[in-house]
Amino acid sequence: MTDSQSLSIVVPMYKEEDNAARLVERVHQGMAEYEGYWELVLVDDGSPDGTVKAIRQCQSEWGDHVRLIELQRNFGQTAAMQAGIDAARGELIVTMDGDLQNDPTDIPRMVAELLERDLDLLQGWRVNRQDAAIKRKLPSKIANRLIAKMTGVHLHDYGCSLKVYRASILKQVRLYGEMHRFIPVWVAGVTSPARIGETPVTHHAREFGESKYGISRTFRVILDLISVFFFLKYRSRPGHFFGYLGLSAGTIGGLLLSWLFFVKVFLGEDIGNRPMLMISVFLVLMAFQFLTTGVVAEMLSRIYFQGTDNRNFIVLKRPDLKPDDAWREPQPEKSE
């Protein structure tokens, strides 16, 4: 191995039969002058078409540094990305899409910029995005603003899959659901936000296949964003979150009941038919429910932090490699 940083390029793929060969070729073209060892980890997310066959043909053509991870069924892009990250062996990890919209020629520059700026994550920014305005750009713009507003991690383009990470940082993060969009936020939970940067990258129009996402994705992002906010703020103390809600509801309910007690005892008024009575009783009951939920959440939190390393995907096939096996070596310069 050389002194240069070893690099793993992770690409989740689903129904990308027509793109696989072109992707592998373009990655090799973009990495032709990279001075370190690198590997290409292609994760098939249960594609029903010929994606796996196309990747295997690429392996026979280019070599064992093109690695195939097969998932047992379609688990989603986030799970596929996590599977690739788990299998990656490089000191640096690059993630990108398999639809040819990201440009692999950006990778060496991004790696150099990450090291020069001493960052833990360098996020790609699709300045001139080549996607449909309503179907892709609009929901992405809404999602980006929501994420920045709620998390405090300010980036222009969370949705760009082209990112470069230090593996030691990224492997401290576990991805679930559709959380790949929130990777910069999760990374900010294990390192300083000052060590997260962004850089403009090239973006191409999709050549083959169809996008798997649309405007409905915005609503899923909102739901995931609530989960992200909860985990970042209250993951280790969920009892505080439910406790605040419970104490607030209980305080309001208690004050209303106190007022009704005063009205009944000292003013002699009938309170049996007042809506305020039902509302105050409901608030008190809700307070007890929130407080007991907080206790249960605290117990689950302890189990979570003490538990084993559970995964949200099943790998069908993964090559058994030693640390120094199957790397793409730096290519010597050709003499003219």
The architecture that CATH gives domain 7-132+158-210 is Alpha-Beta Complex (3.90)
Quote the pLDDT of residue 220: 67
Quote the pLDDT of residue 212: 53
pTM of the full structure: 0.74
Q: Would you say residue 210 has pLDDT above 70?
A: no
The stretch 45-71 carries a mean pLDDT of: 94
Q: Which of 201, 187, 193 is nearest to 109 (CA)?
A: 201
* Cβ neighbourhood burial of 10 (10 Å; 0-12, 13-18, 19+): buried
Report the range out of 124-133, 219-228, 250-259, 300-309 with the highest average pLDDT: 250-259
Amino acid of residue 282: F
Report the range of poorest mean pLDDT among 52-66, 203-217, 261-275, 317-331.
Answer: 203-217
User: Where residue 249 falls among pLDDT bands split at 50, 70, 90?
Assistant: very high
Phi, psi of 269 (to 5 degrees): -90, 150
Q: Report whether 276 contacts 260 (CB < 8 A).
A: yes
E-strand stretches of the chain? 7-13, 38-44, 66-71, 92-95, 121-126, 163-166, 196-201, 315-317
User: Where residue 333 falls among pLDDT bands split at 50, 70, 90?
Assistant: low
User: Where residue 332 falls among pLDDT bands split at 50, 70, 90?
Assistant: low
Quote the pLDDT of residue 89: 94
Q: Over the chain, what is the mean pLDDT?
A: 83
User: Where residue 129 falls among pLDDT bands split at 50, 70, 90?
Assistant: low
> What does DSSP say about strands 121-126 and 92-95: parallel, antiparallel, or unpaired?
unpaired
Q: Report whether 53 contacts 16 (CB < 8 A).
A: no
Give the tens place of pLDDT for each residue, 62-80.
999 999 999 999 988 888 9
Higher model confidence: residue 79 or residue 313?
A: 79
The stretch 33-53 carries a mean pLDDT of: 94
The stretch 167-194 carries a mean pLDDT of: 84
d(CA 186, CA 254): 39
User: Any idea how long the chain is?
Assistant: 336
Quote the pLDDT of residue 29: 95
Q: Which of 163, 166, 170, 175 is nearest to 190 (CA)?
A: 170
The stretch 133-144 carries a mean pLDDT of: 62
Q: Would you say residue 132 has pLDDT above 60?
A: no
Q: How far apart are the first and last CA of the chain?
A: 27
